[in-house]
């Protein structure tokens, strides 16, 4: 299944940020959301990709956008990875039932049991404004995200 495209209502989710706290898409309603699906904590490409997004956080804040990343790793793994990489945005755990949110967005690699490397910009009304699926071994960078945020109605 291909990833969801622009004009599609973004599927709701509520996923663990920590072992005892969840974050839902609905909580972010009213502002743009940059949703990043990535295969796994601790992989070299994922670490580089998330570090790039960490670096552009000030740019995202100019658009009042929230940045959220999702993989099938557990909350404890995310916690250690975020601390190690000094990440300043939430990593959500699509761990159990495994990949249910990634599947809803068409961003689950069934054969590998991990998320695709997929990006979504969701507008303040919960509608996907832009999406992109990168080859799993290639970091997509941030240009597409910034262009999509710039194109959102003011």
Q: Mind listing the pLDDT tens digit for each residue in 93-111?
A: 999 999 999 999 999 999 9
**pLDDT at position 137:** 92
Q: Check whether 80 has a pLDDT greater than 80.
A: yes
Q: Check whether 64 has a pLDDT greater than 90.
A: yes
Domains and CATH numbers, the chain: 30-151 (3.40.30.10)
Answer whether 0.75 is exceeded by the pTM: yes
**pLDDT at position 69:** 98
Instruction: Tally the residues of the chain.
Output: 154
Q: Which of 46, 77, 115, 133 is catalytic?
A: 46
**pLDDT at position 154:** 81
Cα angle for residues 19, 110, 9 (degrees, 5° grid) = 70
pLDDT in tens, 29-59: 999 999 999 999 999 899 999 999 999 999 9
Percent of the chain at pLDDT above 70? 100
46 part of the active site: yes
| Segment holding 37, helix H or strand E | strand 33-37
Provide the β-strand partners of residue 115.
108
**pLDDT at position 61:** 94
The rounded distance, in Å, linking the Cα atoms of 80 and 118 is 23
**pLDDT at position 104:** 98
**pLDDT at position 86:** 97
Q: How far is CA 49 from CA 46, 52, 53, 107, 118, in A?
A: 5, 5, 7, 17, 11
Cα angle for residues 28, 31, 33 (degrees, 5° grid) = 70
Q: Once rounded to an integer, what is the mean pLDDT over residues 73-102?
A: 97
Q: Check whether 1 has a pLDDT greater than 80.
A: no
């Amino acid at each position: 299944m291909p990833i969801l495209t622009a004009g599609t209502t973004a599927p709701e989710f509520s996923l663990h940020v920590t072992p005892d706290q969840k974050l839902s898409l609905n909580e972010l309603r009213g502002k743009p959301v940059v949703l990043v699906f990535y295969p796994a904590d601790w992989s070299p490409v994922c670490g580089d990709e998330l570090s790039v997004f960490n670096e552009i956080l000030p740019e995202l804040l100019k658009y009042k956008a929230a940045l959220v990343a999702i993989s099938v790793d557990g909350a404890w793994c995310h916690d250690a990875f975020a601390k190690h990489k000094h990440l300043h945005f939430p990593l959500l755990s699509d761990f159990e039932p495994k990949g249910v949110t990634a599947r809803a967005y068409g961003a689950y690699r069934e054969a590998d049991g991990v998320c695709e490397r997929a990006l979504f910009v969701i507008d303040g009304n919960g509608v996907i404004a832009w999406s992109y699926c990168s080859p799993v071994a290639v970091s997509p960078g941030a240009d597409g995200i910034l262009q999509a945020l710039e194109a959102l109605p003011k």
